[in-house]
Amino acid sequence: MPWNPGELTLDSAALHPGYARWRTAWQAATIRPAKTTPSSGPDSMINNTIRAEVRFSFKGKTHALDEIIDLDQFPVEAGDMPDFHRHLARMAGIDPISYLYEVLESHDITFSQATGLAADYCHDGEFDWAGFDKARREEGDWERILAIVQDTIAPHELDAAPALKAALLAVYRAGKASVR
């Protein structure tokens, strides 16, 4: 009797070894928080994504991990670069407490095909997380400032007055720092 994917049960993992890995990857891919602040710049409505690839061999078998990562799922205020090795391992069903994971960690990840704001920080297989994270935080600050002043000052007027723009950003950041 052929296997019907519509008949998945709790016992399917035992009957179909690839099911548990597929289910874990599917859950990780579908349970992601939405972007918290929509972009108002030229890349609005474009998610910040990047392709992460790594190839390595372990016990005579070549492993090639390749994922498109939604960078918007990582908190804006985090500051630290996410552990992309761990993220790729989770998506591939690799246990982080294994020799296979240690071999994965010893290889560099190649980044490419960035979209949104991330495209400005991905060059020659490298990704500048610190630069991207700073730009993303600044973009979020500007979105909040524009929401506050939208009834008083038009966005094009701010672009024409860089001193005013700098002053508003400084005041916003000072207020934000005093709340912490």
* Whether the predicted pLDDT of 84 surpasses 90: yes
Under the banding of pLDDT at 50, 70 and 90, the label for residue 22 is: very low
* Whether the predicted pLDDT of 26 surpasses 70: no
**What single-letter DSSP state applies at residue 11?**
T
Six-digit token pair at 4?
């019907």
Which pLDDT value is given to residue 50?
95
Which residues 6+ apart lie within 8 Å of 84 measured at CB?
52, 69, 109
**Please, is 141 exposed, middle or buried when counting C-beta atoms within 10 Å of its C-beta (0-12, 13-18, 19+)?**
middle
Six-digit token pair at 13?
């993992």
Q: Cα angle vertex 166, ends 162, 172, to 5°?
A: 145
* Whether the predicted pLDDT of 77 surpasses 50: yes
> What residues does 112 pair with on adjacent strands?
51
* Whether the predicted pLDDT of 37 surpasses 90: no
Q: What average pLDDT is seen over the chain?
A: 76
Distance of CA 62 to the CA centre of its chain: 26
For the chain, percent of residues with pLDDT exceeding 70: 72
| Calculated CA dihedral for residues 117, 121, 123, 129, nearest 10 degrees | -130
**Please, is 50 exposed, middle or buried when counting C-beta atoms within 10 Å of its C-beta (0-12, 13-18, 19+)?**
buried
Give the Cα separation of 122 and 132 in Å (integer). 9
* Whether the predicted pLDDT of 79 surpasses 50: yes
Contact 38, 45 (CB under 8 A): yes
Going by C-alpha positions, the residue among 129, 141, 147, 130 that lies closest to residue 177 is 141
- Per residue in 91-137, pLDDT (tens digit) is 999 999 999 999 999 999 999 999 999 999 999 999 999 999 888 88
Under the banding of pLDDT at 50, 70 and 90, the label for residue 165 is: confident
Distance of CA 50 to the CA centre of its chain: 7
* Whether the predicted pLDDT of 2 surpasses 80: no
- Per residue in 136-146, pLDDT (tens digit) is 888 888 888 88
- Per residue in 39-63, pLDDT (tens digit) is 444 444 578 999 999 999 999 999 9
